[in-house]
Amino acid sequence: MSLWSLFTPRARMRRYALLDAKGNCRALRESRQQPTAPGWVEVHELRTAWLGQPLPVAARAMPQARPAQARQALAA
């Protein structure tokens, strides 16, 4: 089984920050799937200095389009 796992593709780890109503960072998380609870935003990196502080605008990652969606948009 372990040899088989070397050849199967894995989703990459992504980083998220939990923001409160004021935009302050309350938690940081690294996961392969996006958290389902509201308030989580994807960020480029995790910095513990953000905890309790407003999240810098430049820290947010832009949502990436899936390749199938990109092809459909070009075909239209």
| 3-state secondary structure at position 60 | strand
Q: Which amino acid does the sequence have at 44? A: H
| 3-state secondary structure at position 73 | helix
Cα(47)–Cα(17) distance, rounded to whole angstroms? 10
Cα(49)–Cα(51) distance, rounded to whole angstroms? 6
Instruction: Say which DSSP state 61 is in.
Output: P
Report pLDDT for 70.
47
* pLDDT tens column, 21-52: 999 999 999 999 999 999 999 999 999 999 99
Contact between 20 and 38 (Cβ < 8 Å): no
Confidence check: pLDDT of 67 > 60? no
Instruction: Say which DSSP state 63 is in.
Output: P
